[in-house]
Every structure is written in C-alpha cells, then in structure tokens.
Amino acid sequence: MLNLSRLRILYELSRSGTLAEVARVLNYTPSAISQQLSQLEREAGVPLLERVGRRVRLTDDALTLVKHTEVILAQLELAEAELSAAQPEIRGTLRVASFQSVVLSIAPVALTVLAQAHPGLEVEITQREVGPAYEGLLAHEFDLILGEEHPGVPEPVRAGVDRSALINDPMLLAIPREGPLSARPTGLSDLAGLPWALDPPSSTARRWADVVCREAGFEPRVRFESPDPSLHVHLVRMGHAVAFLPGLMGDHLGGTQVVALPGDPHRTLFTAVRAGRSKHRAVEAFRQALAEAAAANAPTPPVLRL
C-alpha cells in the first residue's frame, strides 16, 4: 500500500523541483526527505527519481503518481470541508498569508469579528507578497491568502485555486504638506525628478507604479525601496519623498496631502484558497469577517485632484 505522507513528498518535489525546498515546506531535513522517497520507491516497485547532475528528476511513473496524488489531496480537502459542516462550532487553526497594507488595515478588524463570532477559531497570519503567498498556498503551507491585482498587471490564474474578490481599493498619490516637495502638481509629469518611496521591483505594486510614471513621461527616481507602506507614509510625512499609496491606508495618511490620480485607478484585493477547501466553514467564516472589515474601513477620499 502506498503511503499518503510519502506521496505528498513526491507531489511537493514535482512542484518545487528541489529536495531542499520540499524539506523547508514540510519541516523535514533533506536527508529525511531522501529516505522517505526511497521508501516510496520500494512501495511502488518502480524507480521514481533519476539523478541529473546535482538535481533529481521525476520518472514517468513518478509523474503518474503525482497526478493521482493531486486528486487524492483535493478529495481529502473536500471531505474535511464536508465534515466541518457537521461540527457544532468552528474550531481549529487557519493559516493565512497577507501583504502588509491589509495587515495594517482590514485584518485586525476581521480578527476582532472572528474572536466574537467564533472564539474557537485561531488565525495565524504571515506576511507574504502575492507570488510567494501563492507558492505557500499550493504547497499547503497556508490555507488562505490575501492578494492584490493592480490595473494592467493581472495576476495569473492558478489551476486548482478558488479566488474571490474582496474590495476595490483606490490608488492615490501622497505628497508632503510642507517643504520643497509639497507644491501641488498639475500633472504626474510635475513629479519627474522627485525622490520616490516605492515597493521592490518584484511586486505588482511596483510594476504598476513604473508603468504609471512611464506613461507620464518619466522614470521614477526611487530613493527609498521597501514593501512597507507605513514607511512610505512616514517618509512622505517627513518631507523626504512622494509615493503611491492605497486608499485603505487612510487612517495612516495623516500629515500628508492626498491626491487623486488621473483615471481613478483601483487595485483589486482578493482571497484565494485551494479549491477543495473553499467550502470549509473556517474559510467561509474568515472570508465573511474580511468582507465586514473591508466594508467598515472605507478608504480616505482624496483631498486634491490633478
């Protein structure tokens, strides 16, 4: 009989490609992963791995097992979701990955809602950008992730994932209230040459920001690079930079001038879970709490317009 835990290791190897990454995701040592895969080969009675230099490659028989394992794992999650519906209360731990502006604004309110409605449900939140969060979701490291999609920078559709829109959040320009950077711009081109605080180049927020600036005819002079929007706000407040910031940061934008952008661009916030887990009561409860928190946290309207 094939061992499901060992099949899961093979499945993760097919996804991540390296024994070291499988060991990290599943909290094993690399040597333990190798031992488990060797045992699985003995159970299967056929070779599952072949060496290619310093790496390993899955054989055709291994890929067949991976396809069956994917179906088995999805069915198990469907079974868990059905069983959760029979429980008198929602209990357990929900592992969530989120990027920082949601952690600063919506997530704390959602946790308060959950604590009152479902005190037996514990939520663990880890900060991750969208790409790494998706990887963690598919690796079963997280049960639910919060993601964002900016105009013109679509997030790829992942197979086996249930995605649900949460809120449309306006993207705004923040400039200092005082000092040499505080002059009200008449257009984005007026900001050419000014110091910017922006996200790292790998993020969707930064790719969107670069496109917006280029369409206005300039490359942003990025003086401060960080995924932390609260740092961006502080740098703007202190007069050191200008920045694009989401409307949900409204409670943190005091001391800055908030300017609406041409075309009123919005980012879309969404939740994503593995499809087999979408009907789990814990997932449904957290999604509902997030929706309530988002509705209660109306974005700050811009003070100025270009």
Output the 3-class SS for 154-186: CCCCCCCEEEEEEEEEEEEEEEECCCCCCCCCC
Neighbours of 238 (CB within 10 A): 13
Report the CATH number of the 4-84 domain: 1.10.10.10
Tokens of 132: 């790494």
DSSP H/E element including 57: strand 55-58
pLDDT of 205 reads: 93
pLDDT of 190 reads: 94
Cα distance between residue 238 and residue 296, in whole Å: 29
- Cβ contact 198:159 at 8 Å: no
Domain ranges within the chain, ordered by starting residue: 4-84, 89-168+267-296, 169-265
Identify the sign of the CA torsion 231, 235, 237, 238: positive
pLDDT of 163 reads: 96
- Cβ contact 33:5 at 8 Å: no
Tokens of 185: 């711009």
Runs of H (alpha helix) within the chain: 4-16, 19-26, 30-44, 60-85, 100-104, 106-117, 130-138, 204-215, 229-237, 281-296
Q: Partners of 245 in the beta sheet?
A: 172
- Give the residue from 3, 41, 44, 6 showing the smallest Cα distance to 26: 6
Q: Which CATH number fits domain 89-168+267-296: 3.40.50.300, 3.30.1300.10, 3.40.190.10, 3.90.100.10?
A: 3.40.190.10
Cα distance between residue 17 and residue 174, in whole Å: 42
Tokens of 250: 């409204």
Cα distance between residue 186 and residue 306, in whole Å: 5
- Cβ contact 138:77 at 8 Å: no
- The single residue listed with the structure tokens 């740098």 is 235
Identify the sign of the CA torsion 119, 100, 190, 236: positive
Cα distance between residue 49 and residue 47, in whole Å: 6
Question: Which pTM value belongs to this model?
Answer: 0.85
Asked whether this chain's domains 89-168+267-296 and 169-265 adopt the same fold, the reply is yes
pLDDT of 56 reads: 85
In degrees, rounded to 5, the angle at the alpha carbon of residue 82 between the alpha carbons of residues 79 and 87 is 125
pLDDT tens-place values along the chain, 306 residues long = 889 899 899 998 988 888 888 888 888 888 888 899 999 989 889 989 888 877 888 999 999 999 999 888 888 888 888 888 888 899 999 999 998 888 888 999 999 999 999 999 999 999 998 888 998 998 889 999 999 999 998 888 888 899 999 999 999 999 999 999 999 899 999 999 999 999 999 899 999 999 999 999 999 999 999 999 999 999 999 999 999 999 888 878 888 999 999 999 999 999 999 999 999 999 999 999 999 998 887 656 666 777
pLDDT of 22 reads: 86
- The single residue listed with the structure tokens 């900001």 is 191
3 state DSSP class of 231: helix
Name the residue type at position 276: G
Cα distance between residue 205 and residue 119, in whole Å: 35
pLDDT of 300 reads: 60
CATH topology of domain 169-265: D-Maltodextrin-Binding Protein; domain 2 (3.40.190)
